[in-house]
Structure 1
Amino acid sequence: MSHTAMSDMKAERISVEVASDDGKAVIQKGGTRVDEHEMARMGKQQELRRNFKFVGIVSFVTILQSTWECTILANWFGLFNGGTAGLIWCTIGVWLCMMALIASMAEMASMAPTAGGQYHWVSEFAPPRFQKSLSYVVGWCCCLGWIAGIPACGLQLAGIVQDMVLLVHPEAAVTTLWQTTLILFLFVMLTVGFNIFFAHHLPLAEGIILFAHVFGFFAFMLTLWIMADHAPASKVFTEFHDGGGWNSIGLSCLVGLATPIWCFIGPDAGAHMSEELKDASLLLPKAMMWATFGNGILGIAMVITFCFCITDLNEVIGPKASDYPIIHVVHTATGSYAGTIVLGGLLVLLLYFSTVTTVASASRQVWAFSRDGGFPFSSWIRRVSRWEIPLNALILCLGVSLTLSAINFGSPLAFNAILSVSNAALIFSYIISVGCVRLKRLRGEPLLPRRWSLGKYGGIINDITLAFLVIGFAFSFFPVAPLLDDSRWAADMNWAIVIFSATIILASGYFWAGGRHKYIAPVSLVKND
């Protein structure tokens, strides 16, 4: 089918026959003829209901990234390595580069709108001899990146709850590692539970939370601008800080990139929900672009506002400071416990639903990869329950998330390690998938028909994307400070490199030990028109 023919198709509902206990039943899956054709081309069956429409998927990606919320929550690392000036300018730079990445991925999503995302794209676009092995490793990295994002979000939730408790009751003993981890366990279980019992209400919930997302932005913005003391602009925009002792402001800022990257990470989230989106090949790319553009505007405005409220940097990054200084900043500005708790509670609500969407994306990624036989016990993981959700994939995400969360029992640096491995694993998958498309362009090979295209600018946008991703990947493994003390190297090391390397070794080992005979490379199922 030609690109023009696909673009001119009239969207209409399709019916899918599925077996039930009472025999055959016809269930509306909510797709269009274009969706049906694209699923057939990729050799996939429509198993999930297409509940999402354009506004719903924009809300989904927006809430998952939660950029302005992350700029005021996960900013300690960026402030410590970069200061206010480093955090602001790096956030702006990361946003611009992320827009190039989103554009590259949006084009691939239009070519092949599948829940598999990157590993599927690598399978179709990589050189033939690498299609199976490379897509297999990318599939494992995608799953690691998404699942690691669940406890990383949960740790933020636990931390901000503890800070609010300590604000009102400074003598409370609630900050030991085991207490933090148990709170983390609770939030992980609550977010997975939402995805199990309220999955069909997720599009509606995302629309409501999008309103809260925008309302919360203005609530924090106005509070900080009107009530807080402000540092001079010359200090905010020009004073950098090398807290790690790297002896180079430039290097220190690059180490601090983990903060702004975390604020924008997950642009592939919409792709993993594409089999639940109506008219995905057209609406998904637009949703990805608009969500990241809007999040960037709000995020940059908020990070600048927040940095203006830091009159003494040592108060927010010093040894006695919290990892989440926003509670201190808001209380200093308002002088009110009640006001601070209300705004903090709003942050908890928004971050909770950001974690809910992270769980949804992770489970769809795991489900899609098991559908192609990528994991041991894939036949169990890939089952779709009678509620039309990947229930077993959600259970697997819960188990792995709790296991990763247990790292926090032994190390207060667990958040940095889990955040870094989530960043690194997803960035690795972006590098390989965008790199495969760039290679096809360099070789002059035709790309698949798509309804959203980069056109003649595709090559340069891919190049900008790859340059940015390589830098981000390398600095995802850096520790907070150089490992100069041999007696403390284990405590100060960024253990993300160990988790990431173990995943690569495990994936490669399982592949050559027998996984290659079970894994079905998506390209082998593709049907050419």
Structure 2
Amino acid sequence: MDDTKIADASIQLRDNASAELNEDPVLSEKKGTPNDQKDMHRMGKIQELRRNFRFLSIFGYSMILMATWETGLTSSIANSRCSSARSRSTTVPPHRVWYCRTKADLKHSTLIIPLLNGGTGGAIFVFLGTAVGMGFVIVSMAEMASMAPTSGGQYHWVSEFAPKEHQRFLSYVVGWLCVLGWQTGIPSIAYLAGTQIQGLIVLNNESYVPERWHGTLLVIAVATFSIIFNTLLARKLPLVEGTVLVLHIFGFFAIFITLWVLAPRSEPSDVFGQFQDNAGWGNVGLACLVGQLAPIFSLLGSDAATHMSEELRDAAYTLPRAMIWTAVCNSILGFLMLVTICFCLGDVESVISTATGYPHIQVLYNATNSRAGATVLASITVILAVFGCVNNVATSSRQLFAFARDNGLPFGAFLSRVQPGWDIPLNSVLVSFAVAILLSLINIGSTVAFNSIASLGTCALLSSYIISISCMFVKRWRNEPLLPSRFNLGKAGIWVNGIAVVYLAIAFIFSFFPSFPHPTPDLMNWNILIYGVVIIFSLVYFIFKGKHVYVGPVEYIKKDV
């Protein structure tokens, strides 16, 4: 009898192994690992997307989307122009006029924001402080991502970790904040790529006069390429991430080495010792806090990979480690590039008055003394910005899909539909494209208005981080049981969460500050107004419709798993 049982068991094991070997590889890839299946079952979600990302591809994906060194070098988000301030000597002292010229003429570069508010020394040390603060944020989010690896990200975590009486409402608000943050990100990055192309045209053709509508058409072209890549070529995305990651790293060294070898260099005492209040806040410390908007923007987006977690194999283990390695590597590269630029600005007058609209293009031209050389080097950042937009579309559409799946948005059934054979939320991708086009058209009428809306994503994402990490902090403070995690902070968790919340609160407040005190309407940071309007709209929708259909992800959780 025992021999018979052993024989039967052997046959069963052999049949199971044979079934696994003969299993459709597409189906196997879609289901993921047993841990992936267990996590999806616990969260009450159906696996609809293909799990074709691994560690290297999701690491490359996050590195390219965060693009810290590229953003610090070229970033598209500037709060406003300064042209009207040039002539107001009562507001801007004569020795600070060149900074205003920078804000007027070089409206695309957040390199100018920390130089304006803190000087080179302030820019460098504020970046370090921001990297440390955001490090606590990313570690906190990595732990939550391991507990609940879902495309919903923050709003799902809030639904599970918030006090029971506030779960539905807070989760709903955070969902809208994430939609706002990521949907505005697509035109922002496309604008960076498109207007850099304009800058390169100016560099090579001095007779060209850039127009806003030219830039808008280029923005639409970049967004269109990103949509095509996220639909027709969606299955190739993981493969491309590894390839573009190589360009991200080698492109950094190409620019880094070129500047250190060819560009004139400032003295270390001048670079590290200059702490200046060039905007006129009356206090260098306050100026530095205002200037942190630039490094925050360059280090933002730590939640990007979480929204791809339903397409990542063994997500609960791989995702948090990819998030942390991304933060570490991008922070190092971003810091090195910032120090390099501060040392190698060279002829400041030519940099701030450049017709290209981008300081880094002029810096590269001054260093190489070659239009061709500067064009090749600057083209690296253009290509990386284009693929950053590709990744932003992927993240934005997955977040939109997840929130719609939980009935948090109008037309939820339409937005959350995954077409058979595509294995992507095609409708959410196309809606994200439509939103990007509509927002980019604003630039034709007013660049100030466009920049205000585009930079709103920073405030929205920061507030979503604050709420989600605060919920985890409160849960720990009350000694409530936590979900099992394959990336556990242990007893240090409450301290990590607490420091992250304090830092985020400070960053959130200063994200609404203008770059200058006593701003005129064209210098004002209008984010707080637009942010308030979106919050009010989401609350009104919740009162009249949302609360009747949105129950929150926690209601689908299987408690016995």
TM-score (norm 1): 0.92
When residues 314 and 129 of structure 1 are mapped into structure 2, their CA distance, relative to the original with a 3 A threshold, is farther
The one of 356, 362, 369 equivalent to 2:390 is: 356
Instruction: Tell whether the 8 Å contact from 2:174 to 2:467 is kept in structure 1 after alignment.
Output: yes
C-alpha distance in 1 between matches for 2:23 and 2:310 = 14
Q: Partner letter of residue 253 of structure 1?
A: C
Letter in 1 for 2:244: I
| Pair 1:169-2:205 in alignment | yes
Contact 1:15 1:26 in 2 (8 A): no
2:424 aligned with 1:389 = yes
Aligned to 1:524: 555
The answer as to whether partners of 2:227 and 2:433 remain within 8 angstroms in 1 is: yes
CA deviation map 1:305-341 (0-9, x unaligned): 11101245455446x6755200000000000111111
Q: Does the 8 Å CA contact 2:346/2:366 hold for their aligned counterparts?
A: no
Question: Residue 5 of structure 1 corresponds to which residue in structure 2?
Answer: none
- Inter-partner Cα distance in structure 1 for 2:440 and 2:370: 33
Q: Partners in 1 of 2:276 and 2:356 — Cα distance? A: 18
Aligned position for 1:55: 56
Aligned partners of 1:385 and 1:391 also within 8 Å: yes
Judge conservation of contact 1:246–1:481 (CA < 8 Å) in 2.
Answer: yes
SS in structure 2 at match of 1:156: helix
Q: Displacement, 1:28? A: 4.4
- Whether contact under 8 Å (1:13, 1:28) holds in the other structure is no
- Does the 8 Å contact 1:13/1:30 carry over to 2? no
| 2:359 paired with 1:328 | no
Structure 1: how far apart are the matches of 2:528 and 2:442?
14
CA distance in 1, matches of 2:125, 2:441: 35
Q: Matches of 1:173 and 1:16 in 2, distance apart?
A: 60
Distance 1:13 1:143 in 2: 39
Alpha carbons of 1:392 and 1:497: their partners in 2 closer, same or farther (altered >3 Å)? same
Q: CA deviation at 1:178?
A: 2.0
Residue segments in structure 1 that go unaligned for 5+ positions in a row: 1-11, 18-24
What is the CA-CA distance between 1:406 and the residue it aligns to?
A: 2.5
Residues matched between the structures, number: 505
Residue type at the aligned position of 2:549: K
Which residue of 2 is the match for residue 340 of structure 1?
Answer: 374
Q: How does 1:78-89 map to 2 (within 5 A)?
A: 78-89=114-125
Distance 1:316 1:196, change over 3 A: same
Question: Which whole-Å CA distance do the structure 2 matches of 1:435 and 1:15 have between them?
Answer: 47
What one-letter code is carried by the residue in structure 2 that aligns with 1:244? A
- Counterparts of 1:493-508 in structure 2, within 5 Å, are 493-508=524-539
Aligned to 2:541: 510
Instruction: State the match for 1:402 in structure 2.
Output: 437
Q: Which string of whole-angstrom CA distances, capped at 9 and with x for unpartnered residues, describes residues 24-47 of structure 1?
A: x96641501111011010000000
Corresponding position: 1:71 with 2:92: no
Of 473, 477, 487, 1:442 maps to 477
Aligned mate of 1:490, from 521, 524, 529: 521
Q: Partners of 1:409 and 1:397 in 2: how far apart?
A: 20
CA contact (8 A) 1:366 1:393 kept: yes
Shifted more, 359-368 versus 85-94: the winner is 85-94
- What is the alpha-carbon distance in structure 2 between the residues aligned to residue 96 and residue 48 of structure 1? 34
Contact 1:15 1:27 in 2 (8 A): no
1:97 aligned residue: 133
**Aligned Cα RMSD in Å?**
2.0
Is the radius of gyration larger for structure 1 or structure 2? Answer: 2
Which deviations, in whole Å up to 9, do the C-alpha atoms of 1:265-307 show, x marking residues without a partner?
0000111000000100011001100111011111111110111
Note closer, same or farther for the CA distance 1:210–1:147 as it changes in structure 2 (3 Å cut): same
Distance in 1 between residues matched to 2:390 and 2:288, nearest whole Å:
31
Contact 2:136 2:496 in 1 (8 A): yes
Q: CA deviation at 1:91?
A: 1.1
Instruction: Assess, with a 3 A threshold, how the Cα gap between structure 1 residues 299 and 399 changes in structure 2: closer, same or farther.
Output: same
Shift of 1:238: 1.5
Give yes or no for the alignment of 1:232 onto 2:263. Answer: no
Report if the CA contact (8 A) 2:31-2:37 is conserved.
no
Query: Mean Cα displacement is larger for which, 179-188 or 136-145?
Result: 179-188
Q: 1:414 to 1:327 in 2, by over 3 A?
A: farther
Q: Out of 420, 426, 434, which is 2:455 matched to? A: 420
Deviating above 3 A after TM superposition, structure 1's stretches of 4 or more consecutive aligned residues are 12-17, 25-28, 311-318, 320-323
SS of alignment partner, residue 297 of structure 1: helix
**Residues 1:122 and 2:158 are matched in the alignment:** yes
Structure 1 pair 323–172 and aligned structure 2 pair: CA distance change class (3 A): closer
In the alignment, does 2:288 pair up with 1:253?
A: yes
Q: Give the letter for the 1:506 counterpart.
A: F
CA contact (8 A) 1:14 1:31 kept: no
After superposition, the Cα gap between the structure-2 partners of 1:417 and 1:14, relative to the gap in structure 1 and judged at 3 Å, is farther
Q: What's the CA shift for 1:225?
A: 0.4
Structure 2 CA distance for aligned equivalents of residues 240 and 414 of structure 1: 31
SS state of the match for residue 29, structure 1? helix
1:160: Cα distance to partner?
Answer: 1.2
Instruction: Determine the C-alpha separation between the residues in 1 that align with 2:450 and 2:495.
Output: 35
1:159, CA displacement in angstroms? 2.1
2-structure distance, mates of 1:448, 1:528:
11
